[in-house]
Amino acid sequence: MPSNSRFARPTLRFMTSALGLLLASAVRAQPVPDVSKVTVKVVPVAAGVYMLEGIGGNIGLSVGKDDAFVIDDQYAPLSDKIKAAVATVTPKPVRFVVNTHWHFDHVGGNEAMAGAGAIIFAHENTRRRMSVEQFIQAFNMKIPPSPTAALPIITFTDTITFYTNDDTVRTFHVANAHTDGDVIIHFRKANVIHMGDTFFNGRYPLIDLSSGGSMAGMIAAANQGLAMSNADTRFIPGHGPLGTRADLVRYRDMLVTVRDRVVKLIAQQKTLKEILDAKPTADLDATWGNGNIKADQFLTIVYQSLTQR
């Protein structure tokens, strides 16, 4: 979901109050960002691999002897700036795009990418959700179906492997984490893992329960990323700065700590309001609560995930 940006802050302020009002307010429409002042920054990650930061989910980029390979493409109005950023590191066109999940801040550039000749891949749940109207409960927001030209044209259910730019790029689904269509992408030779929105580096994450996400799945996804990594692995998070293995360990540990504390309070028959009033993450909030998802909203999502049937 949206990272720090001028339009996202009021959205999330609204969200926090909307949670309290239990969706009493009118359903919101998908935001259209003003990208006029946005620069797309190219961050070197490893030989031939880059992370592109604009607004929205971090983009992964692999370049080399073959055509460019891209993971996620942010917002449609940014497409020209993204293409220009790619062109600063390779003269070759984008051949493949993988979407890590369906959220509009990760797939908005699909139509432009496909129009320029790229083939778009995603988990089948990502295409399914993009094909019909969606409602994100945590944002009280309706998302219209994507145009046909923006839909992934090759889908998979478990894994798919790309052999490109002298690397083996293993792409695999993780069940019910941030959504029900998340994929993690592992560049084996470059030793880089793009975690999609299963990893918010240094901040509380959004878990989109209304898209099939779950707290248990978020922890499992972090553990899967750790299991295939070593001390030198670089991690591209969906949101936040480029990460190390130690960053992902800290994030996983935070998720486990928050889960355990909320589980304990639920076992004591506490209501959500009592849990929020108890401020069980007070010692963590200064470190993790400065992103778009604040402590109360994260606790609400964790509570809902742990109590939903």
Binding residues vs Zn ion (CB under 5 A): 1, 103, 197
Q: How far apart are CA 263 and CA 137, in angstroms?
A: 22
Report the Cα 293 to chain-centroid distance in Å: 13
Q: Compare residues 63 and 71 and give the one whose CB is closer to Zn ion.
A: 71
Question: Is 220 in contact with 182 (CB distance < 8 Å)?
Answer: no
Q: Compare residues 90 and 129 and give the one whose CB is closer to Zn ion.
A: 129
Outline where DSSP puts E strands in the chain: 28-29, 41-46, 49-53, 59-62, 68-71, 94-98, 119-123, 134-136, 141-143, 154-156, 159-164, 167-173, 183-187, 192-194, 234-236, 243-244
Minimum separation from the CB atom of position 47 to Zn ion (A): 28
Neighbours of 179 (CB within 10 A): 29
Q: How many residues does the chain have?
A: 309
192-194/234-236 β-pairing: parallel
Minimum separation from the CB atom of position 178 to Zn ion (A): 6
Q: Whose CA is closest to 199, among 232, 246, 135?
A: 246
Q: Compare residues 103 and 123 and give the one whose CB is closer to Zn ion.
A: 103
List Cα–Cα distances, 18 to 21, 133, 144, in angstroms.
5, 21, 21
Q: Compare residues 197 and 296 and give the one whose CB is closer to Zn ion.
A: 197
Question: Is 210 in contact with 138 (CB distance < 8 Å)?
Answer: yes
Minimum separation from the CB atom of position 105 to Zn ion (A): 7
Q: Compare residues 103 and 294 and give the one whose CB is closer to Zn ion.
A: 103
Question: Is 81 in contact with 40 (CB distance < 8 Å)?
Answer: yes
What is the separation, in whole angstroms, between the first and last Cα of the chain?
25
Q: How far apart are CA 197 and CA 219, in angstroms?
A: 12
Q: Compare residues 57 and 280 and give the one whose CB is closer to Zn ion.
A: 57
Report the Cα 232 to chain-centroid distance in Å: 22
Q: Compare residues 83 and 103 and give the one whose CB is closer to Zn ion.
A: 103
Minimum separation from the CB atom of position 103 to Zn ion (A): 3
Q: Compare residues 237 and 280 and give the one whose CB is closer to Zn ion.
A: 237
Minimum separation from the CB atom of position 211 to Zn ion (A): 8
